[in-house]
Amino acid sequence: MTVQFTSEPDVYEVSGRELRIHWDITEVTREDMEGNPETFWTAQEALCRVSDVRNILIEKIMATAYTTGAELAAINNGGEDYEAYQAFRAQAKALADGWLGQ
């Protein structure tokens, strides 16, 4: 899910039992209604629990971009679909490992 922030978000944000994992963090500047530059941040976000284990973290990150059917289609289609899926899967694993390695 794409979310917006007024300041740069952390990759991992904890609030109580919730863990929000952010990636593809991007600074965006646009003109406001008065023509002045306005800066905000966008990121992809997965909502997890602080206690989630690695495979659950990966599953929740993957679910932000792929339904189960979309995952199967990417795997079976092969080619660019499969390569994009595997690249995102590697990113999901790295994000999960980053949290668990803290």
Is residue 71 within 8 Å of residue 88, measured between CB atoms? no
pLDDT at 46: 98
If one counts the domains in the chain, the total is 1
| 21 has a pLDDT exceeding 90 | yes
The distance from CA 71 to its chain's CA centroid, rounded to whole angstroms, is 16
Q: Which domain holds residue 51?
A: 2-100
pLDDT at 102: 86
CA distance 63 to 51: 18
Specify whether the backbone of 60 is left (phi greater than 0), alpha (psi in -120 to 50) or beta: alpha
pTM of the model: 0.90
pLDDT (tens digit per residue) in 47-92:
999 999 999 999 999 999 999 999 999 999 999 999 999 999 999 9
Is residue 8 within 8 Å of residue 41, measured between CB atoms? yes
Centre a 10 Å sphere on the Cβ of residue 8 and count the other Cβ atoms it contains: 13
